[in-house]
Structure 1
Amino acid sequence: MKIAIIGAGNGGTKLAKLFHDLEHVDIGLMVDKNVDAPGIRWAKEHGIEYSRDMDSMSPSVDVVVEATGIQVIADAIKEKFPDKQIIDSSLAELMMRIVDQQVSVSNQLNDQLNVIHKTTEVLGNEMEKVATSNHLLNEVTQHLVHSAKESEAFITETDKIITSVNQITQQIKILGLNANIEAARAGEHGRGFSVVANEVQKLSDNTKMFADEISGLLKALSGENENINHQIHKLGHLTEEQNDMSLNVNRVIEELVTQGAR
Structure 2
Amino acid sequence: MSIIDPIFAQKLMKLIQKETNQNAHFFGEKGIIIATTQPERLGTIHEGAKDIMSGKIDFIAITEEMTMQLSGTRPGFSVAIDTENQRIGAIGISGNPTDMRPIAMIASHMIVIEYERKLFMDDLNQMANNINTSLQESSAGLEELSASSEGQSSTIVELSEMVKKTQEEIMETNKILDFIHKISKQTTILGINASIEAARIGAEGKGFNVVANEVRKLADNTANSVGQVDDVLSNLKELITNVSDNITSYSSATHQQATVIQSLSHEIENITTSVDVFVKKLT
Give the alignment's TM-score, normalised by structure 1.
Answer: 0.36
In terms of Rg, which structure is larger? 1
